[in-house]
Amino acid sequence: MSIRAASLLVALCVTVSASFESARHQEDPRVLAEAFVGAANDGDRAALEALVHPDVVAYLMEQMPERWEEVLSGWAETRFDDDYHVTVRPASDVEAYDEGTQALIFAGKLRFRFPVLPPSHFLIIQKAGEIESRDGRLGLGGPAAVEAVRQDGGRWYITVPVVEILPD
C-alpha cells in the first residue's frame, strides 16, 4: 500500500469515527446542555442563538424581536459553576405541561406557549452544592435554567416559548 493510499484510509477512518461520535452525542440532550452552559459562561450570543431551532429564531425575530432580545440577553448574562447538574425530563412527565395546548402553566398566572416547535423534553440545569429546602431536606441548588428542547433532524435544539400573563 502506498503512503498516499494509507493516508487516505486514515483520513477516511478519522472522518467516519468523528461522524459516529457526533451522531452518538446528538442522542443525548445533555450535550446541548453542555454547549448551552459553555456559551452562556462565555456570553457568546451567536453560539447561544445557534443552539435554538432555526424556525424558532426566525419566528421570534419576525414576530417578537424584543422577546428574542430579552431571551438572548438573559442567557448571555447567566453564569454556571463548573460542577452544575443537568436533569432531563420528558415533557410528558412535567405536570404543568399540556401536550394538547403545547403550553406550560405556572401558578395559574403564566402560560409558556410553544407556537413553533413544542418541546419533547426539558433540561433542568441546577447550581451545584446543597441547600436546605423548606421541609428541612438537603438537595441540589435551585435551578439556574430550565430549557425546553426537542430533537429535529438528528440534532437537539432549544425551543423558546412565548410568555403570556393569564387574566385573574
pLDDT digits over 29-87, tens only? 999 999 999 999 999 999 999 999 999 999 999 999 999 999 999 999 988 888 888 99
Task: Give the per-residue pLDDT at 7.
Answer: 37
User: Is 70 exceeded by the pLDDT of residue 13?
Assistant: no
CA-CA distance, 61 to 74, in Å (whole number)? 16
pLDDT digits over 137-162, tens only? 545 556 678 899 999 999 999 999 99
Q: Of 158, 121, 163, nearest to 40 (Cα)?
A: 158
The CATH number assigned to the domain with range 27-165 reads 3.10.450
CA-CA distance, 39 to 125, in Å (whole number)? 14
pLDDT digits over 85-109, tens only? 899 999 999 888 988 888 988 888 8
